[in-house]
Amino acid sequence: MNSSSRANAAGSAQRIKVSFEFFPPKNGDMESQLWDSITRLAPFQPDFVSVTYGAGGSTKKPTLNTVARISRETALAPAAHLTCVGSDKTDVDAVAREFQAVGVNHFVALRGDPPEGVGAAYRPHPGGYANAAELVAGLRAISDFEISVSAYPERHPESPDFATDIDMLKRKVDAGATRAITQFFFDNDVYERYVERVRRAGIYVPIVPGILPVHNFAQVARFSKLCGASVPERFARRFDGLEKDPETRALVAAAVAAEQVNDLVERGIDDFHFYTMNRAQLVYAICHILGLRGQERTAVGAAA
């Protein structure tokens, strides 16, 4: 690498911002893995770390406990996912205030999947928020929160067309959303075309690409079908024959994700949200490949 290339790489690293998504643990072993991951990734000083929230509040207590601990024991900024499936407005608002009381001032507002799972018919609660746009408005009525929402480069699987899908995004932004985080994707052209559509619709909040490192290609391929994300053949070929070779698969996954992010940086993108799956190794490797470095500090106890 010549001096000009090194300078460009260093400049890109300085510009790049990251955030990380985690999910609440179900048992002691998973809790240890979660906090090992948070500690490992904390030196990259993410803009925020988000914690998911199960449909109908099914993970309310562990989500609340996790964001409370992040707020109490670390210097990280926690964001809580919040959904409106299966709950009335009073209950949802009460949950938002509970999160606020433990230091949460940033929500990722989502309609959420039906309790039966992805693909099941969605039925709004009779006394609840009908969709994410209404949820955003409800949160905005409580306080001046930072509010992120979802965006779908290949449109939400329940949307009949892109116009309907982007209209819902506009309604969420008009209600007070400050950022959109995309569903994961593997084709950067798809993301770029989507952003062009969004801007033509008069939506100017940041559209942050969601990046999913591939820990298990077969699982990712199955999940992609459920949520409407395409898997390009050239992408799939990278993982051919690695089903029983986890070490090589991890190396390929890190290289593929870093390649995707580097290409997005070349296209002018400087903000990325990583779906960690509570596993730090791949995300850490990707951030390191991108040239990101952070202060060597531990997450737990950093704010003491």
Note the pLDDT of residue 22: 98
- CA 23, CA 31: separation in Å to the nearest integer? 10
Structural Rg of the chain based on CA atoms: 19
Helix (H) or strand (E) holding 273: strand 271-275
The contacts of residue 149 (CB under 8 Å, 6+ apart) are 108, 109, 110, 132, 136, 169, 172, 173, 177, 179, 180, 181
User: Which residue is it, tokens 């409106």?
Assistant: 84
* pLDDT number for residue 226: 84
- Res 12 pLDDT > 60: no
Residues 220 and 157: their CA atoms lie apart, in Å, by 16
Q: What is residue 10's three-state secondary structure?
A: helix
The helix-helix angle for 280-289 and 28-41 (nearest 10°) equals 10
Residue type for position 38: I
pLDDT value at 113 more than 80: no
What is the C-alpha to C-alpha distance for residues 254 and 258, in angstroms, rounded to an integer? 6
Average model confidence (pLDDT) for the chain? Answer: 89
List Cβ neighbours of 226 (8 Å cut-off, separation of 6 or more). Answer: 118, 119, 157
Does 6 have pLDDT greater than 50?
no
Q: Give the model confidence (pLDDT) of 194-213 as tens digits.
A: 999 999 999 999 999 999 99
Q: Tens digits of per-residue pLDDT, 245-295?
A: 999 999 999 999 999 999 999 999 999 999 999 999 999 999 998 899 876
Active-site amino acid positions:
21
202 Cβ contact list (under 8 Å, min separation 6): 170
Q: If pLDDT is split at 50, 70 and 90, which confidence band does 126 have? A: confident
- Split at pLDDT 50, 70, 90, the class of 5 is very low
Q: Which CATH class is domain 15-289?
A: alpha beta
pLDDT at 41 over 60: yes
| Model confidence at 71: pLDDT above 60 | yes
**pTM for this model (two decimals):** 0.90
* pLDDT of amino acid 294: 73
Among candidates 210, 194, 229, which has minimal Cα distance to 18? 210
The answer to whether 273 and 21 are in contact (CB under 8 A) is: yes
pLDDT greater than 60 at residue 43: yes
